[in-house]
Structure 1
Amino acid sequence: MRFLHKKASMLLETLTTLFDRDLNRVRTELRQYRDEQQIWAVPAGISNSAGNLCLHLIGNLNTYIGAELGQSGYVRQRELEFSLRDVPRPVLLTQLEDTIAIVTRTLTTLDAASLDEEYPLQVFEKKTSTGYLLMHLATHLSYHLGQMNYHRRLVEG
């Protein structure tokens, strides 16, 4: 039993590190746009701007980690994640910093045993464990981070 607890603790520590790393990479991507307006560009063949992807990640992580696991009180407005335009870069960066803080604070206060517990919301077709959902959220973040990197390189040439 002690071995399993240690493995769960290591997984939680790894997830915390990965969320921090990739959220900081989102910040780096946003800062690398030479022209702030390009953050909101939607060239042909692209569905979402980097700005909307950033807002989506902020809403997603604040909902599933902050509100559900950290009891932050965050209320998601998902439709705005994809409809808002021209949010100033400093505002995005501030919201991102707040997201990093709540994700880190929540994950560092979770007990390793909670990874095996049922996640409070049904997000998919059936209920999952908290550990499963956290792994999904980490890969979801990574997926959209890659899209943001591609978007930046595409619009900036």
Structure 2
Amino acid sequence: MIIDSLKALFERDLQRLYEEISLYKDEKKLWHVEQNIANSAGNLCLHLIGNLNTYIGAEIGGSGYIRNREAEFSDKNIPRQSLLEEIAKTRTQVSNALGTLKESELHEEYPRLVFEKSMSTLYFLMHLTTHLNYHLGQINYHRRLLDEK
């Protein structure tokens, strides 16, 4: 039951990410930064894709995904369609990986040390949902601010 809830949250919010990236009126603005804003919506999108494919797709689902975290923040001007395709693939990876989990495994230690201390898989999956939402909110705000200019 908890796994179904987590799957539903990731599905919902990855769909929202897809929609946010789709809604930019000017595709070039996906990569726009100014003043004290360090990350564009495009880079935040790449970061979320890398994060979820690493910690859920590869670690839980065994997908073999290899993360290049630096590129998530340094790559620029990737076509919107490519981002949308990667979001769709990520949705599939997350759903498939979570589908392999048993409820009892949620209370086991997450197999990778991430925050310099161990944590349960459930705790980390909950963290990943809030991390996704944090950046999703930033992307939404970025889009609405720039679409008004």
TM over 0.5, shorter chain: yes
Structure 1 vs Structure 2 CA RMSD: 0.7
Alignment of 1:37-116 (within 5 A): 37-116=28-107
**One-letter amino acid of the counterpart of residue 142, structure 1:** N
- Distance in structure 2 (CA, Å) of the matches to 1:13 and 1:47: 35
Partner of 2:4 in structure 1? 13
Unaligned runs of 5+ in 1: 1-9
Distance 1:106 1:115 in 2: 13
Q: Which runs of 4+ in 1 moved over 3 A?
A: none
Distance between the aligned counterparts of 1:127 and 1:45, measured in 2? 34
Q: Distance in 1 between matches of 2:105 and 2:84?
A: 30
Letter aligned with residue 46 of structure 1: I
Q: TM-score, normalization: structure 2?
A: 0.97
Verify the 8 A CA contact 1:43 1:155 in the aligned structure 2.
no
User: 1:43 offset after TM fit, Å?
Assistant: 2.0
Q: 1:136 aligns with which of 127, 130, 141?
A: 127
Further displaced range: 44-53 or 73-82 = 44-53
- What residue identity is the alignment partner of 1:70? G
Percent of residue pairs bearing the same amino acid type: 57
1:4 corresponds in structure 2 to none
> Following TM superposition, by how much is the alpha carbon of 1:60 offset from its aligned partner in structure 2, in angstroms?
0.2
SS at match of 2:62: coil
